[in-house]
Structure 1
Amino acid sequence: MVVSNTVLGIVAVYILAILGIGLYASKYVKTGDDFMLAGKRLGPVFIAGTVAATEIGGGSSIGVAEQSFGDWGLSSGWYVLTMAIAFVVLAFLAPRLRSTLTTTVSEFFKRRFGTANHVLTAVVLLLPMIGLTAVQIIASGIILSIIVGIEYQLAVVIMGTIAVGYSVVGGLWSVTLTDLAQWILVIAGVVITVPFALQTVGGWGTMQAELEPWRFSLTQGIGWRQIISLTVVYITSFSVGQEYIQRYFAAESDRAAKLGSLGAAGTYALFAFVPAILGLAALTYQQQGNTVPFVAEYGTRYVLPGFATVVLPDIILGILFGALVSATMSSADSDLVAASTIVVNDLYEEYINPDASPEKLGRLTKIVTGVIGVSAIGIALFNVGVIVELLLFSFSFRAAGIFVPYIGSHFWDGGSSVGSFLAISAGSAVVGLEALGMISFGAWQEPVIPGLLLSLVCFVGGSYAFPDDTTPAFIDKIGSSTDSSASD
């Protein structure tokens, strides 16, 4: 099934416009600081748009509809609503985090705890960023394969190349400008689909009559344990996620960072249950004896774009597909720039070429962005998992180990290098081992909570047992861990 030329034309115009914005932004990117922090000139509206667009991606649109169609029902909207809670919390943390005057989260660990913590944190943050980028490229490939009727693998290569291309030329400034447009388009495109979907299946009343009652509960499908787990995952992961913290570091002021974060939270709250409603409508359509295109052949991850081809007129379908492309690309580009920032700022400049000029760092960052992008495309080509599961693993892996020493060190001066190193290692290991099936936590649906608890014990216990004046030789400290400018 291939959509009409009208739909193709609308999406093509959108993609060309995004590439044009990226090329325009490249004129203002001369140094590594321009690429990584957009010249530190982002106001509240830009912060709100780029933060919101970063996470309203494949998981928040296609993934939520998939879960609603499956086991979570309407309550799958909590996947997004819990993000709103996280960004309200971050709005009040942002000024404190900005006070360290760093470019990356791992740079904070270098200043506060030395080399070993710095390198470990950079690696733990970098690995999930590649996975997160791959998730969004997967979602983009799904959409394009439907639009054009080509193989999923070819679609992944095309959409991945586009996302990598404009990220390479314009850095964070390009990402911010495109995110602002994508933020508006994705909200409008998904929301406008709802009345067409309801009309197709006979309205809300018909859905309630034909589906099981639990599917309309705001909590029953997902369950309170999962809601609490998601809230913990997002607060802890977003607080250390380079793709989010980088926005706050790039803000023009503390006020802009705070207002922008609250604006993004409002967007999430308004958007949360919209994809879930579309998932229920698609399920009702199937229960009525109809076939949702592509689901039988390729799985439930295709339910939202497949159902849209049935219910929408061509012009609206083009807008929606443009919106879904927006959602996934705006997340992929953010993850790409964040990952390349970690490589260049924390590894290359720090340990390979400390004397590199700003211009050279700017050029290298573009090259690294391209290399990471190609790696993410490779992962996307062989993906066999569902989008939400991949996202949750990536979020949990970095949060379980890094959150406690990072946020804790902004409020407690007693943390030590050993305590931090043990906390990062232990928390991250819990999530990694659980993903490999080597350990299990039974009632806990997300390993991040046991990981955080172990990380807290290691951080506090290790700091008291090995204060910085008795640090073992395996922790290679550089600088002073009592530098108040880094820990205040």
Structure 2
Amino acid sequence: MQTINIAIVVVYLVAMLGFGWWGKSRTKNTSDYLVAGRRLGPLLYTGTMAAVVLGGASTVGGVGLGYTFGISGMWLVVAIGTGVLLLSLLFAPTIQKLKIYTVSQMLTLRYGHEATKVSGIVMLAYTLMLCATSTGAYATIFVVLFGWDRALSIALGGVIVLIYSTIGGMWSITLADMAQFVIKTIGVFALMLPFALASAGGFSGIAERSEAEFFSITGIGLQSIITYFVVYTLGLLIGQDIWQRVFTSKTPVVARWGGAAAGVYCILYGVAGAVIGMAASVILPNIESRDDVYADIAINVLPIGVGGLVLAAAVAAMMSTASGALIAAATVARTDVVPYVRSWFGQGPGVDSASDPKGSDAAAEDGHDVASSRRWVLGLGIVTIALAIVVQDVVAALTIAYDILVGGLLVAILGGLVWKRGNGLGAGVSMAVGTTVTLATMAYLEINAEDQYDGVYANEPIYYGLLASAAAYILVSYMTPATSAPVMAAWERRVAGILPDDDGAEPAGPPPSTEHRAR
């Protein structure tokens, strides 16, 4: 009977490949390939935003946390949903109007300073580790379902994501994510939640066989809750994979309210996952690893066929995060990192239509731009599959990348959006100081660690990095000249939604000033 579950998952995987070819037919230029032509309406945008943030940690991990800690296991996913809400309500409309491709391009536009370009390297490391972690995560489902070894499972799943992402770019990913969003919604809310609750005897049945602490919203510990909000909420505000979805929205209104709807959905998803885990603790009380809870419920509790849909929902969650991180990594590598590294050797930046933050999408019409983007997605996809197979502790690498992302870059990015006095030198120094303090604290704690939570996984590196970064940003910005008037004028035009082609401004960007050194 397990064959039916396997068949359902196989059909889902084949459908993902079909979305790759469907997306290819809609991809005509770089804008189509990287940001779906900036044409997503409310429905598609909400679905794809929810899909990209709700990965394996939110789905399999969220149920596992509910199994161990009860209703308070919801906080990880609630923190993610809160991040989406804050980004959408506070910053997404402004980000959408910039008509750019990467976070680093926003820094270049806002500050006009070379020091901010190192952010692309940090963002590339973060997106690669996120992709590798997600690639390794959905292999656990294949191991349970097919009985394959870990390397083969990673390779097969990774190749499927790689094919549909490479062929159609963001359009393929958007269409696949929308299907994944529907599958996750049905699998978690319509199937897994009611079946698990019914099998456990409802909330009264859970209460009879569980301690009162299981229903405490702070049962997981206040420190863990704070950490989730610091790491995930703040990280979601500035991650390239999330910003790239904002770039796909058709209008600022879609970016704000479509994203807000996705944030609310994520919060409900977190609550549902925790409740499913609570029910599982009553139905299957002897599961050793909480990461196995989701699959065990699908196989041992749910009816044949329903279990297959639920397993497909887990794979969908992980693949949506992996594909989003993959195209984000390729975009950052091609647009930010390669031109920056070439400048170290005295070569021209090699700017093309995708890497020029000052030009509009009208310049990105040539087919060779799409071909170049496909090569980057393909190459980095192979790298992430290899990383997921070879590196056993990719979670540690992702934690380091996340800590640097938040501790080093958050202040400069959000400061540029909300504080006009912040300048390029302040941003550059804040990134350097925040990153250094974060890494130094992490290294010190790792050397003196008494258990695994005192080293790389400790909370202090982000706290100290953020404080040092904020102090440096404010002090240096006040002690040095403000961002030059031409750079700020160009920034204000972009924030107002006026592109260079619209107002006749020079498309090459802000003119040279005391803060901008042309290559």
TM-score for the superposition, normalised by structure 2: 0.83
Partners of 2:388 and 2:394 within 8 A in 1: no
Cα separation, 2, equivalents of 1:25 and 1:42: 13
Match of residue 213 from structure 1? 212
Code of the residue aligned with 1:240 in structure 2: it is I
Deviations 1:234-261 (A, max 9, x none): 3421221111111222211111111111
Match of residue 351 from structure 2? 354
Aligned partner (choices 414, 426, 445) of residue 419 of structure 1: 426
Cα separation, 2, equivalents of 1:233 and 1:24: 36
Match of residue 342 from structure 1? 332
Deviation at 1:432, TM superposition (A): 3.5
Code of the residue aligned with 2:351 in structure 1: it is P
Cα separation, 1, equivalents of 2:86 and 2:139: 33
Match of residue 162 from structure 1? 160
Cα separation, 2, equivalents of 1:282 and 1:391: 29
Partners of 1:404 and 1:459 within 8 A in 2: yes
Cα separation, 1, equivalents of 2:184 and 2:223: 30
Instruction: Name the SS of the counterpart of 1:99 in structure 2.
Output: helix
Aligned partner (choices 406, 409, 420) of residue 413 of structure 2: 406
Cα separation, 1, equivalents of 2:316 and 2:28: 26
Match of residue 181 from structure 1? 179
The 4+ residue runs of structure 1 with deviation greater than 6 A are: 439-444
Deviations 1:296-343 (A, max 9, x none): xxx432221123211011110110011111111111111111111111
Aligned partner (choices 138, 141, 156) of residue 139 of structure 2: 141
Deviation at 1:175, TM superposition (A): 1.0
Distance 1:469 1:331, change over 3 A: closer
Query: Does 1:33 find its partner at 2:41?
Result: no
TM-score for the superposition, normalised by structure 1: 0.88
Partners of 2:442 and 2:458 within 8 A in 1: no
Deviations 1:26-59 (A, max 9, x none): 1121322211111110111111111100011101
Deviation at 1:435, TM superposition (A): 4.4
Greater mean alpha carbon deviation, residues 204-213 or residues 76-85: 204-213
Code of the residue aligned with 1:378 in structure 2: it is A
Distance 1:252 1:487, change over 3 A: closer
Cα separation, 2, equivalents of 1:469 and 1:247: 29
Query: Does 1:85 find its partner at 2:92?
Result: no
Match of residue 258 from structure 1? 256
Match of residue 473 from structure 1? none
Distance 1:432 1:220, change over 3 A: same
Cα separation, 1, equivalents of 2:435 and 2:55: 25
Match of residue 464 from structure 1? 478
For structure 2, list consecutive stretches of 5 or more residues without a partner in the other structure: 341-347, 354-363, 496-519
Deviations 1:359-403 (A, max 9, x none): 22211211111222222222222454596x776554333122222
Cα separation, 2, equivalents of 1:9 and 1:25: 25
Deviation at 1:21, TM superposition (A): 1.2
Aligned partner (choices 398, 404, 411) of residue 397 of structure 1: 404
Instruction: Name the SS of the counterpart of 1:171 in structure 2.
Output: helix
Deviation at 1:115, TM superposition (A): 5.7
Distance 1:103 1:386, change over 3 A: closer
Aligned partner (choices 451, 458, 470) of residue 465 of structure 2: 451
Match of residue 70 from structure 2? 73
Cα separation, 1, equivalents of 2:258 and 2:441: 35
Partners of 2:441 and 2:460 within 8 A in 1: no
- Residue correspondences, number: 467
Cα separation, 2, equivalents of 1:141 and 1:444: 27
Deviation at 1:25, TM superposition (A): 0.7
Deviations 1:388-443 (A, max 9, x none): x7765543331222221112112222222221112112223344344442588989
Deviations 1:200-220 (A, max 9, x none): 445433432333322221112
Distance 1:432 1:301, change over 3 A: farther
Partners of 2:67 and 2:277 within 8 A in 1: yes
Cα separation, 2, equivalents of 1:404 and 1:16: 43
Partners of 1:42 and 1:251 within 8 A in 2: yes
Partners of 1:112 and 1:486 within 8 A in 2: no
Query: Does 1:380 find its partner at 2:388?
Result: yes
Instruction: Name the SS of the counterpart of 1:273 in structure 2.
Output: helix
Query: Does 1:432 find its partner at 2:439?
Result: yes
Deviations 1:69-92 (A, max 9, x none): 33x332110111122222221122
Code of the residue aligned with 1:409 in structure 2: it is G
Instruction: Name the SS of the counterpart of 1:314 in structure 2.
Output: coil
Partners of 1:156 and 1:380 within 8 A in 2: yes
Cα separation, 2, equivalents of 1:447 and 1:68: 27
Partners of 1:427 and 1:451 within 8 A in 2: yes
For structure 1, list consecutive stretches of 5 or more residues without a partner in the other structure: 471-478
Deviation at 1:97, TM superposition (A): 2.2
Greater mean alpha carbon deviation, residues 211-220 or residues 434-443: 434-443
